[in-house]
Copies of this chain bind each other. A is one copy, B any other.
Amino acid sequence: MQGHSIGLLSKRTGVKVTTIRYYEGRGLLPDPGRTGGGQRRYGDAELDRLSFIAHARQLGFDLDAIAELIALQETPHAAHGDAHRIAKDRIIEIRDRIARLRRLEAELVRVVKSCDGQSDGQPCRVLNALADHQACESEH
């Protein structure tokens, strides 16, 4: 039978076979056609959509956001504002995460330094520093 098997889709997109079936269950991919024996066969449209999903996932969109983006693709009129909002929300989220991670990094570097050069007999200050939030210089 013509059409791409699920394994071929997987190879083309880098998305695992089980994950493709999971996306179908989540409604991100339509029910594909089946062979007489019940195996899935896909066309190029499904391949494109799966590529879209895979790429959006790599950019960190969650499946709900991706579902929304797909819906926008289906109704191209006036999709600009919504698509931008979703993408901009994601940018804000990413910037937030970066800021928080930077604070954590600074704190941990400080913690590790606090103990460097200590002799083996004493209790480790890394452990003390972790026990004592008061000692932190920035909140996290």
The residues of A with any CB-CB pair to B shorter than 8 Å are 48, 51-52, 54-56, 58-60, 69, 72-73, 76-80, 83-84, 87-88, 90-91, 94-95, 97-98, 101-102, 104-105, 107-109, 111-112, 115, 118, 120, 123-124, 126-127, 130-133, 140
- Whether B118 pairs with A59 at a CB distance below 8 angstroms is no
State in angstroms the CA–CA spacing of A78 and B119 once bound together.
Answer: 9
How many copies of this chain sit in the oligomeric assembly? 2
- Whether A127 pairs with B59 at a CB distance below 8 angstroms is no
- Whether A80 pairs with B118 at a CB distance below 8 angstroms is yes
- Whether A55 pairs with B133 at a CB distance below 8 angstroms is yes
Chain B residue contacts of A48, Cβ below 8 A: 131
State in angstroms the CA–CA spacing of A102 and B94 once bound together.
Answer: 8
A98 CB to closest chain B CB (Å) equals: 5
A46 CB to closest chain B CB (Å) equals: 13
Chain B residue contacts of A112, Cβ below 8 A: 84, 87-88, 91
Chain B residue contacts of A80, Cβ below 8 A: 115, 118, 120, 124, 126
Given A52-B130, A131-B51, A108 and B94 touching (CB < 8 A)?
yes
State in angstroms the CA–CA spacing of A118 and B87 once bound together.
Answer: 16
Lowest 10 A-B CB distances belong to which pairs? Answer: A83-B126, A52-B131, A76-B123, A55-B133, A94-B105, A79-B124, A83-B124, A80-B124, A98-B101, A91-B108
